[in-house]
Structure 1
Amino acid sequence: MTVDIVATTSSSKPPRTVRLRADATRNRERIVAAAREAIVEFGPDVPLDEVARRAGVGNATLYRHFTDRAELIRQVTLSVMATTAERAEDALAQEPDAFSALRRFVFEAAEERIGAMCPMLSDAFDRQDPAVTQQVDRLERSVIAIMDRAQSAGLLRTDIAVGDLMVALTQLTRPLPGTGCVGFDRFVHRHLQLFLDGLRAPAGSVLVGTAATLEDLKAGNK
């Protein structure tokens, strides 16, 4: 009986490999978060040494998780798109007012640094990546649902599409590369509010051209 008790107690301790795996996961998450901020601030060519410094890890740790810059950018893009899509879905489900759902999504997308999606549209990025395609489709569906609801309620102008919204979000949440703007978020919030006021129906002006879809954005980068 004594042997059984000792064995049970010993086996209940988590193996060291589990602890190491948890540490590795945290390091990976820190690297992705740091890379997201650095890419938004300085562009996709930010030195990886700077990413490692911001993440609080050594260069060797960074390269253990990401073999090269392209893979790191891919993971940042996937992370931002997945979280942004989740925020859109939550806003649609939880906000009773259609325009409030749109406003909530816009500001929460800004917090997620949606500008980090820009590398996806660069020539170097593989736009045929199945994981990227899946996240793009999910994000597009969720944002279209928010916009359709607001337009059906007569609260959102009808001459825009999801591409218009995403272009504005991308541009307004990304400072000029290399500027390292201090306190940039306060300008982002002001400009997003101005942008939202311009989206309200009835429209105060007639827009030039046609509404932009995500397909238009993809076609423009081929």
Structure 2
Amino acid sequence: MTIRVLIADDQSLVRTGLQMILDNTQDIEVVGEAGTGNEAVDLAAHTKPDVVLMDIRMPDLDGVQATKRIIADHGPDGPRVLVLTTFDRDEYVYAALRAGASGFLLKDSLAADLLSAVRVVAAGEATLAPTVTRRLLTRIAGELPVREDPRLALLTAREREVLQQVARGRSNAEIAELLCLSTGTVKTHVGHILTKLDLRDRVQAVVFAHESGLTGAQER
């Protein structure tokens, strides 16, 4: 199946470079380009992309607000947003994820990493640039307002354990080894967690866990 991608960036040279990388594959098709946040919102409605590559800083409507609008307009079955930017500052990362982005990648990433991120996000998973992942889970987490979320009561004890490890940045394989489970079982638990908490993907699960104070518990 071909992955339909919309590129949103205020620099035409960047858009051209991204299109050349993406179009040089058999499974990805660029369906539109936007130079402003409002254009990105409008084109997302008309072109129905699977993934929107979203720059943070754009005229008239920044990438965070454009992401929020796209997610609100199209719901859980709408486009996935992959934020692609030169700025790796923590506040940009967190704001983008809170807005509903499914991934965050820096513009100095390798072409292979970009293609991989697009495919991961299109498949309903989530991705973060390795250089910002740990910082998101540690530095920012300490600054978040923590409040017990009643939805935690919907999770079983094992699901809470799995969510705690997801929030610490561990992969399914790492969680499986730590909790003595199969990778398939961990994947099933993650799916149940997302469904019960009404979350789009793994990134939102990380944000939820930190905001609800789950990561403050003693690591097992």
Identify whether the pair has TM-score above 0.5, normalized to the shorter chain. no
Tell me which of the two structures has the higher relative contact order, counting C-alpha pairs closer than 8 angstroms and 6 or more residues apart: 1
Greater gyration radius: 1
Structure number having the greater helix percentage: 1
TM-score bin (small chain): under 0.3
Higher relative strand content: 2
Query: What's the TM-score once normalised by structure 1's chain length?
Result: 0.25
